[in-house]
Structure 1
Amino acid sequence: MQLKKLALSLALAGIALPAAHATNGYFQPGFSVKSVGMGGVGIAFPQDALAAAINPAGMVDIGNRLDFGVSAFEPKRDASLSSNATVYSPQAGQSFPIGGSYGGNDTKTFIIPEFGVNYMLNPTMSVGLSIYGNGGLNTGYSKIFPPFAPGTGVDLQQLFFAPSFAMKVNSSNSIGVSLNIVHQSFRANGLTNLCNAPVPGAPAGTTLSANPAACTDNGHADSNGVGVRIGWIGQLTPTLAVGATYQSETHMQGFDKYRGLFANAGQFNIPANFGIGLAWKATPAMTIAADIVRIDYGSIPAIANGMLPGQLGGQTNGPGFGWKSINVYKLGVAYQYNEALTLRAGWNHGDNPIDSSNILFNTLAPGVIKDHLTLGATYAIAKNMELSFDYVHAFGNSVTGQLPGNFGFTGTETLSMSQNVLGVTLGWKY
């Protein structure tokens, strides 16, 4: 009963907390402090009760345990316009200079909780619950260039509740499934001029949004959805394990308050993703693990469509961020220094989902980071209790593109982002 109360309290807290700007697009590099300390690996190397967020098959290998942690994110996101950049004002009948640098960092630090609990039904079956933030997008520009208004920004939050079941098919193979019950929230501010912008070449009075009143400045809108993740782990040799996992596209209710912004009347589904991984016990004290993950951003119209895909904001094929699907490569090592201390390090490299042809709208979502260096450690503070830590440095990256001339711009824009993360988790084996 106490575990149920703790899980409920964390869930309510998680909904109330803001989400950070994640760094494999808008996905997190990993889904627990231990995993993140190794570059986000975990498909074939489960370490705690957040394993179901990566591969639910791993839950049967971790025993009875509870993990609770928090991570503090500090992203830096900026937009810089070339010195010759201008924008045309139909009202004034002339162009105005807009060159300069603009910081989208009105909120500088974000806190994201994580929680997991696992219970062994018998030596070959387990049930568990993992609660975690999938990722997020957040920008806030107190100073910004037209057509955006001061205070422009977005806030996307996603919280996963993932009950799981895992079992050992035999001594070498485990399978698992988790039901992903997702709550997400979204807010957009400062887009009035963009939503009401005339569409080049369209009949007079046609604006970029089919419903400008449901396009911006309507507070947070909520939606819910359900998906599933399945996985397998096979122990090929005493020192080598492999794994595979697949998460279905999560079909979400539309954001009704923003049915004039995103395609399909505000629908913002979570893309399918899948991956393979391996874990090699190189020595009794050292494990090396690697994962390759594919995130299918390109299948979600609200994410994948460009700024002028053929229909207006909110319609079936309405505008989006122009993101493409990406691959993510993760490599990590764990070294058991002694009975009490385990050290971790990792590298995470992801493709950049944003190309130079969709630069303007991605001022709201500059998810251009590619490379992450991660460090971590676990210290046993008692026989059945441990503290784990991680640090992530997401190296700065930028994308430069031509501002859209058909909307009255000249010049170029450069989007850049970097990020630091600190996390801590308390784990209890019961």
Structure 2
Amino acid sequence: MRPNTTLRAAAAATLVLPSLAFATNGYFSNGYGIASQGVAGVGIALPQDALAAAANPAGIAFVGNRLDADVSLFFPDRGADVTGNGFGVDGHYRGNNRSIFALPEVGYTQQVAPNVYAGLALYANGGLDTGYADNPFKAFGASGSAGVDLEQVFLSPTIAYKLADRHAFGVGLNIAWQRFTASGLQPFTALSTAPDNVTNQGADTTVGVGVHFGYTGQITQQLTVGATWASKIHGRFDRYKGLFADGGSFDIPENFGFGVAYRVTPAWTVAADFQRILYGNVASIANPLANLSGGNLLGSANGPGFGWRNTNVVKFGTTWQVNPHLTLRAGYSHSSQPVASSETFLNILAPGVVQDQATLGATWQTASHSSFSFFYGHAFRKTVSGDNAIPASFGGGNVSVHLAEDVVGFGFGKQF
């Protein structure tokens, strides 16, 4: 197949199959592309394939003309434990109605003029999904299973300009498609400005556009640095205007980062990234549940959200080219905790609490410039315990939420 034909086919597959699970950093994916995920998501100063633009738009100037198509399979384990509730909610709840999720992605890069490079990447940002067959809110009057499903798919056309063959500046558009559903939340309708738009309204979608800037510089033969910034992307779910603050507003938060890569030997590279995700600047994500007691109903401008905080992520990775055909990778990432212990009640629906992930990966390069890549990652189980996290109006009590993940990915690449 010609590259543009392959790209169209992979793009169509990605749009048809946006079945997303939890990501490792709140609901942001830890990395994009199988090579990057093999080093725990490091990519700001370590571009490795055509999906480099997702981490840093300038990176496409250093990967050549290539096509990459990948798929990752997520296996999350999420749930909650309730104790001390006066309305009989106590119990262990498993949110694993769905246990396997597929995240396809594809990228294409091409030099289009001297020192000018273009790219197109299509990828998933991660997302949120819970499904409780045993509804944790049934004692409050809920019916049916409970859960939410948030899906985010990005299309990112990118341009990069290389200066003096060692520095590159890139800019891209992040065109984001979001889809959301919620079910089994009937008890919350009485606390909403729009009670008919809180739960069981089917799927709602929204599209927004943001910008993404980046720099990559080879300071010496051994040292490469990078920096990147992505703007907030506005979104709104009208069918759930009674659930999310400010009438259904649900923005994708601004984020920025810095990276460094050091080539210890011609075959061995070590790299690290720092990323900050500004969840705290998005009301529907960051507003605390305590806003409800202040008279701010669900769906109002200051309505309660999930109480998530700004999150810092540090990633470390290493690559070792064993021979011209085989490259091995390993990585580890750690994030600060987005979910405050006081906010675990609503985060039964969104327990994005894992903080640590370890990864391994490998690529086999053929003589015809095709490559086959693999990675495995494990996000270690994390529990956030919230004493007295349930409001007195819901009978009080304590909620602990937990999440663990396994993910395996496969990719095909072609250098032209």
Range class of TM-score, shorter chain: over 0.9
- 8 Å Cα contact 1:183/1:222 also seen in 2: yes
How far has the Cα of 1:123 moved from its partner?
4.6
Encode CA deviations 1:223-278: one digit per residue, 9 max, x unaligned.
000001100011111100111000011122x1111111111211111000000000
Distance 1:239 1:284 in 2: 9
Distance 1:391 1:3 in 2: 28
How far has the Cα of 1:400 moved from its partner?
0.6
Cα gap change, 1:183 to 1:2, in 2 (>3 Å): farther
Cα gap change, 1:300 to 1:375, in 2 (>3 Å): same
Q: State the TM-score, normalized to the length of structure 1.
A: 0.92
Encode CA deviations 1:172-218: one digit per residue, 9 max, x unaligned.
3110011111111000000111222xxxxxxxxxxx21001011101
Structure 2: gaps (5+ residues) = none
2:134 matched to 1:143? yes
Alignment-derived partner of residue 94 in structure 1: none
Alignment-derived partner of residue 382 in structure 2: 397
Alignment-derived partner of residue 286 in structure 1: 268
Alignment-derived partner of residue 267 in structure 1: 249
Alignment-derived partner of residue 117 in structure 2: 126
How far has the Cα of 1:352 moved from its partner?
1.1
Aligned pairs for 1:174-253 (under 5 A) are 174-196=168-190, 208-252=191-235
Alignment-derived partner of residue 110 in structure 1: 101
- 8 Å Cα contact 2:341/2:389 also seen in 1: no
Encode CA deviations 1:274-310: one digit per residue, 9 max, x unaligned.
0000000001110000000000000000100112424
Encode CA deviations 1:363-416: one digit per residue, 9 max, x unaligned.
000000000000000001342100010100000000011232332323211100
2:114 matched to 1:80? no
2:7 matched to 1:7? yes
Distance 1:220 1:11 in 2: 21
Distance 1:283 1:230 in 2: 30
Q: What amino acid maps onto 1:314 in structure 2?
A: G
- 8 Å Cα contact 1:38/1:334 also seen in 2: yes
Q: State the TM-score, normalized to the length of structure 2.
A: 0.95
How far has the Cα of 1:5 moved from its partner?
4.1
- 8 Å Cα contact 1:325/1:353 also seen in 2: yes
Aligned pairs for 1:43-62 (under 5 A) are 43-62=44-63
Aligned pairs for 1:366-385 (under 5 A) are 366-385=351-370
SS of 2:188's partner is helix
Query: 2:343 is matched with which residue: 358, 363, 368?
Result: 358
- 8 Å Cα contact 2:188/2:198 also seen in 1: no
Distance 1:12 1:47 in 2: 24
Distance 1:307 1:9 in 2: 44
How far has the Cα of 1:167 moved from its partner?
1.0
Residues matched between the structures, number: 408
Distance 1:127 1:274 in 2: 22
SS of 1:86's partner is coil
Aligned pairs for 1:340-355 (under 5 A) are 340-355=325-340
Distance 2:394 2:121 in 1: 48
Distance 2:81 2:117 in 1: 51
2:151 matched to 1:157? yes
Alignment-derived partner of residue 334 in structure 1: 319
Distance 1:172 1:387 in 2: 28
Query: 2:90 is matched with which residue: 75, 89, 99?
Result: 99
Encode CA deviations 1:90-149: one digit per residue, 9 max, x unaligned.
xxxxxxx22221000000000010100001113511101000001100000000223354
Spell out structure 1 runs of 4+ moving beyond 4 A: none
SS of 1:58's partner is helix
Distance 2:359 2:144 in 1: 35
Q: What amino acid maps onto 2:57 in structure 1?
A: P
Query: 1:324 is matched with which residue: 303, 306, 309?
Result: 309
Greater Cα shift, 168-177 or 105-114: 168-177
How far has the Cα of 1:317 moved from its partner?
1.4
- 8 Å Cα contact 1:328/1:348 also seen in 2: yes
SS of 2:315's partner is strand
How far has the Cα of 1:2 moved from its partner?
4.6
Q: What amino acid maps onto 1:251 in structure 2?
A: H
Distance 1:404 1:102 in 2: 16
Structure 1: gaps (5+ residues) = 88-96, 197-207
- 8 Å Cα contact 2:390/2:399 also seen in 1: no
Distance 1:72 1:261 in 2: 30
SS of 1:251's partner is coil
- 8 Å Cα contact 2:135/2:184 also seen in 1: no
How far has the Cα of 1:160 moved from its partner?
0.3
Distance 2:389 2:303 in 1: 20
Cα gap change, 1:2 to 1:215, in 2 (>3 Å): farther
2:163 matched to 1:169? yes
2:26 matched to 1:25? yes
Q: What amino acid maps onto 2:214 in structure 1?
A: G
How far has the Cα of 1:32 moved from its partner?
1.0
